[in-house]
Structure 1
Amino acid sequence: MDDPPVSRRDVLAGLTVAAGGIAGCASPLNAASPRPERVSMLAAGSLNNALEHGLGPTVDATLEVEAHGSAEVARLVAEGAKEPDIVAVADVALFDSPMHPEWYAEFATNSIVVAYNPATDGGKRLEAAGSEWYRPLIEGRVSLGRTDPDLDPLGYRTLFLFELATAYYGTDVDLRAAVPQRDQLYPETQLVSQFETGSIDAAIAYRSMAVERGYDYVELPPEIDLSSPAFADRYASATYDLPGGKTVRGGPISYAATIRRRSPAVHDVFERLTTGSFLREFGFAVPDDYPRYTPDAPDALAD
């Protein structure tokens, strides 16, 4: 009879069995009531809700999530200000610089939408504009929220959207120059909650952020929403210079993560993060070929 198939989780456990060897020396009391291992994750703000409410309840470890804009996440790790077990960001380019992990796994994608509050006058104007959603923004008749491009990929992707939309719609004005204002900036983790306080009528957001909160949104053409590999060359025409000197270029949105400390609990959390169905439930898209690893991923993870 053939041996039973070995699951991917079995392989991951074998990779880190040495890390768990000490646990075998625990007393009978500890064995009966072990404390869950704490696994820390520094993550993109747009992942926060999905991690806390989708991933956290499914793992045995105590998951501690700290969320910021991904550019800020990358800076904190690169400068040694934070030492998380797992890092998850919304732009794979940040793993080229300022972070330089040996490997990472792409595990989800997203798209840019214009979320709005249909209960406000500005939201109603945006809804009525339909495919010409940009016109009430140019006219200043909608209070808009967005994130800081110096801290967050959503922030610079918003600028990419306006630049791409200028060419796509053939507008008379440069949307990237005309629409963004400094008073529109909010932290990514607080952006869409501004609808609830009445601070904004609309926000440039990820589709997942609108879906998980049940907000109405304008779905944009794939030529400008940064969702489709088929338009990668078009996206790449837009760039932004981060404060540290790195230039980021437009491209299809892809979330990626890496492990910085190995243990059985960390690997379990990472596996569920990169293969879990919870991501779709929170509005993310997961292509059939994901998770997709860089060439230097550990063999057991890339299997």
Structure 2
Amino acid sequence: MTRTPGRRTFLAGLAAGVGSLGGCSALAGDRSPTVSLLAAGSLNNALENGLRPAVDATLQVEARGSAEVARLVAEAQKDPDVVSVADVALFDSPMDPEWYAEFATNSVVVAYNQDTDGGQHIADAGVDGWYRPLLDGDVSLGRTDPDLDPLGYRTLFVLELAAEYYGTTAELRAEIPRREQVYPETQLVSQFETGSVDAAVTYRSMAVDRGYDYVELPPEIDLSTPEFADRYASVSYELPGGNVVSGAPISYASTVRDESPAVLDVFAEQTTGQYLREYGFVVPTDYPRYTGNVPERVTH
């Protein structure tokens, strides 16, 4: 079905550019410790407007595509206190931290601008036919770069899974994507504000947070449901460095690279805070879920 979340005020910091730093300067005389986070672009608004007010430390938040985040840390080009990615597989390669915590999930949706003809085509097609206007060229679509960002390669996964699910003769993964559709994740849905796109393949959290209408996809293709993990795993994408990522249920994960008290306090709030639900993420009852040699002071 087509879901219509309530409109919300466009919050400050949504259009932060890829690689920009948010709130990196403390007020004069502020002696609170500084904690740096390098994070998935889809977490940017939640961190800036949800996490920042909930912690005592001064946060430096840098948002990029998760594949780029993992590469920059693995190549020692970035040295943040906390690393957060939108695909836990990136902590297997290129990063290989000693431990991490999965703390939220999400799903892929097709958001649309109800004020444009193309957006209305998506709305009218609904859950059974959203891909048809995209094939017909009636809709200007936004998506992210699969070489930099899990949402980008998850878009390709959804299209491939959708072709099988709907029984189309068209190869949706091959026929729908075009290079001019690509935008940075932190700017993707804000393209509706400028009229640059009619629709965007995005995370549910991003559509909910920004108050945009969206088509909620079947769980068999939206990468949200562990029950369909085997189905998701049938699709894959090779990143520029040669690493191959496979489809899987979406799971966000964080690790700490400096175990100072201030960093651990921020990490605890980041991975357990109520703000996650407020910004459209799903938090399963068994999260945060820890993997690896987790320090005892992290889990207690």
- In the superposition, the TM-score normalised over structure 2's length comes to 0.89
Q: What is the CA-CA distance between 1:39 and the residue it aligns to? A: 0.3
- Show the counterpart of 1:46: 42
- Show the counterpart of 2:6: none
Secondary structure of 1:104's aligned partner: strand
Please tell me whether residue 114 in structure 1 is matched to residue 110 in structure 2: yes
Query: Which of 124, 133, 136 is residue 136 of structure 1 equivalent to?
Result: 133
- Show the counterpart of 2:244: 247
Change in CA separation of 1:34 and 1:152 when aligned onto 2, cut-off 3 Å: closer
Secondary structure of 1:67's aligned partner: strand
- Show the counterpart of 2:267: 270
- Show the counterpart of 2:91: 95
- Show the counterpart of 1:203: 200
- Show the counterpart of 1:230: 227
- In the superposition, the TM-score normalised over structure 1's length comes to 0.88
Letter of the 1:146 counterpart: R
The one-character-per-residue Cα deviations of 1:217-263 (angstroms, maximum 9, x if unpaired) are: 00001000000000000000000000000000000000000000111
Q: What is the CA-CA distance between 1:299 and the residue it aligns to? A: 2.0
Give the structure with the higher percent helix.
1
- Show the counterpart of 2:16: none
Secondary structure of 2:99's aligned partner: coil
Secondary structure of 2:292's aligned partner: coil
Letter of the 1:203 counterpart: A
Please tell me whether residue 55 in structure 1 is matched to residue 43 in structure 2: no
Secondary structure of 2:221's aligned partner: coil
- Superposed structure 1 runs of 4+ greater than 6 Å apart: none
- Show the counterpart of 2:5: none
The one-character-per-residue Cα deviations of 1:107-164 (angstroms, maximum 9, x if unpaired) are: 0000000000000000011101112100000000000000000000000000000000
Structure 1: runs of 5+ lacking an equivalent: 1-32
Matches within 5 A, 1:56-71: 56-71=52-67
Please tell me whether residue 174 in structure 1 is matched to residue 171 in structure 2: yes
Alpha-carbon distance in 2 for matches of 1:179, 1:153 = 18
Structure with max Cα Rg: 1
Secondary structure of 1:171's aligned partner: coil
Q: What is the CA-CA distance between 1:34 and the residue it aligns to? A: 6.5
What percentage of residue pairs aligned between the two structures are identical? 72
Q: What is the CA-CA distance between 1:300 and the residue it aligns to? A: 2.5
- Show the counterpart of 2:281: 284
Structure 2: runs of 5+ lacking an equivalent: 1-28
Q: What is the CA-CA distance between 1:295 and the residue it aligns to? A: 3.2
- Show the counterpart of 1:24: none
- Show the counterpart of 2:256: 259
